Amino acid sequence: MSRFLSGALRQQVPYVPGEQPHQRRYIKLNTNESPYPPAPGVLRAVGVEAADLRLYPDPEARELKAALAARHHVGPENIFVGNGSDEVLNFAFLAFASDGRGAAFADITYGFYPVFCGLYHIPTRIVPLRENFTLDPEDCYGLGRTIVLANPNAPTGLALSRAQVEEIVKANQDSVVIVDEAYVDFGGESCVELTRRHGNLLVVQTFSKSRSLAGARLGFAVGNQELIADLETIKFSTNPYNVNRLTLRAGAEALAEQHYYDKCCQAIMETRDRTAEQLRGMGFTVLPSRTNFLFVRREGLDGAAIYRGLKDQGVLVRHFDQARIQNFVRVTVGTPEQMNVFLEKLRELL
Ligand code: PMP
C-alpha cells in the first residue's frame, strides 16, 4: 500500500481470480471457461472488425443491444452491456446497494460480492445456506436491502426455481433483487422473463461460459428501463467505451450462432453428468450441478490436498479456503477427454 492511497481504500481486500497459468500447460478446470472454441462465424466477424480498430466502439452498443433484446423478448432500453458480468455487477452494487442501502447474499456464493461491498462500504447481511447448501427462499423475504442471488449458485452449482426467485422478488418490492445467471445455460431456469412483470428485478448474464467468450469480456443485464438507465449513468460517468469494438462484434455474432452454442452446452451437460456418476462411484459426494462445474468432496480428504495433488499432475481445479467448504474442490467440466485425464489422475491420487 502506498502512502498516497485514499484512506477510504486502505482496508480494501481485492478479489483473487482463479489462476491463469502462463508457463506450464495444464488441463485447465479451474475458472469455468468453456472447453469449446467460439463459433466459427464469431472468429470470422472479429477478424473483419479488426480493420476498424482505429475507431471507437459504439458507446450505446446499439447493434448488440438490439440482438439481445430480440433474443430475450424485451426492448433495447431493457438491456445494459458491460465489460464482463463482473463489471455489470460492480455497477449494480454501486447503483443499488451503496450509500447505506445495504446488500444481502448467501454465506457460500460468488466471492466477488463481498469485495464490491468492501469497495463501496456497503453494509452486508449474510444469509446462511442450509446444511446441504440449499437456500431457504424465506430467509430472503423482506430484508429491506438489495439482494444478490447467484442462480445457479457458485461454487455449489445448486439452483433455485424461477418460482422461488419470483417469491423472493415479490417479498422485497422496495428493494432491488439482482439475479446473477452466469451459469443458467447449463440447466437452470432463467428469470429474464420475470423482469417484464417486476420492476425491482435485475438479471445479469455473461458470454464467458456458455458462449466461449471469457477472454472477450462481455456481460449484460436485463431489467426495467429505469434500473438500466441507472446503470447507464454509472457507465457514462466512468467509461462510455466500456465494451470494445471486437467484443461488441463477437457478442452480436454469437447470438446469431445459437445452434452451435446449444450443442456445446448439451455436450458439457452430458459430460458433467457422466463425470458426476464416475465421481460418485469413487466415493465422492457430488452436489447436483446445474452449471458447467462440479462441487465435490470425499470423506476424510482435505480439499487443498486434492487441489495440490492434481496440480502436480497437470490438472488445475479450484479450492476455496473458506469455512464450510474447505473439503470441497470445484471442477470445471471440460471435454470428455479432459475429464478422463482428470478422473485418471484423481484415481492415482487416491
Ligand atoms: N458471476 C458468477 C457467479 C461467476 O462465477 C462469474 C465468473 N467468475 C462471474 C459472475 C463473472 O463472469 P464474467 O465477468 O466473466 O462475465
Residue bearing cell 459504439: 58
Question: What is d(CA 195, CA 197) in angstroms, rounded to the nearest whole number?
Answer: 5
What CA–CA distances, in Å, run from 66 to 46, 77, 248? 19, 9, 12
β-pairing verdict for 146-150 and 315-316 = unpaired
207 C-beta closer than 6 A to ligand 1 = no
- Cβ–Cβ under 8 Å, residues 18 and 30: yes
Q: Do the Cβ atoms of 85 and 182 come closer than 8 Å?
A: yes
| C-beta of residue 61 within 8 angstroms of C-beta of residue 248 | yes
Low-confidence residues in the chain, pLDDT < 50: none
Query: In the CATH scheme, what is the code of domain 7-36+259-349?
Result: 3.90.1150.10
Rounded to an integer, what distance in angstroms lies between the CA atom of residue 47 and that of residue 176?
40
Q: 3 alpha carbon to ligand 1 midpoint, in Å? A: 32
Identify the residue whose C-alpha is closest to ligand 1 atom 1.
182
Question: Ligand 1: which atom is nearest the Cα of residue 17?
Answer: 8
Contact by Cβ (8 Å): 233, 295: no
The CATH architecture to which 40-257 belongs is: 3-Layer(aba) Sandwich (3.40)
Cα of 110 vs centre of ligand 1, distance in Å, is: 8
Q: Is 179 in the pocket of ligand 1 (CB under 6 A)?
A: no
In the chain, where does the domain assigned CATH 3.90.1150.10 lie? Answer: 7-36+259-349
Write down the mean pLDDT value for the chain. Answer: 97
Q: Whose CA is nearest to atom 6 of ligand 1?
A: 182
Nearest in space to 229 (alpha carbons), one of 124, 79, 87: 79
In terms of Cβ atoms closer than 10 Å to its own Cβ (0-12, 13-18, 19+), residue 116 is buried
For the Cβ of 181 lying below 6 angstroms from any atom of ligand 1, the answer is no
Domain with CATH 3.40.640.10 in the chain: 40-257
Q: Which atom of ligand 1 is nearest to the CA of 155?
A: 5
Please give the pLDDT value at position 24. 82
Going 289 to 91 to 165 to 132, the CA torsion angle's sign is positive
- Distance CA(194)–CA(28), nearest Å, equals 35
85 Cβ below 6 A of ligand 1: yes
124-127/103-106 β-pairing = parallel
Best residue for ligand 1 mutational test, from 34, 86, 180 (most atoms within 8 Å of Cβ): 86
pLDDT given at position 23? 83
Exposure of 340 by Cβ count < 10 A (0-12 exposed, 13-18 middle, 19+ buried)?
middle
Q: Is 219's C-beta closer than 6 angstroms to any atom of ligand 1?
A: yes
The CA 309 to ligand 1 mean position distance, Å, reads 26
The model carries a pTM of: 0.98
Instruction: Please tell me if the CB atom of residue 242 comes closer than 6 angstroms to any atom of ligand 1.
Output: no
Is there a contact between 208 and 182 (Cβ–Cβ < 8 Å)?
yes
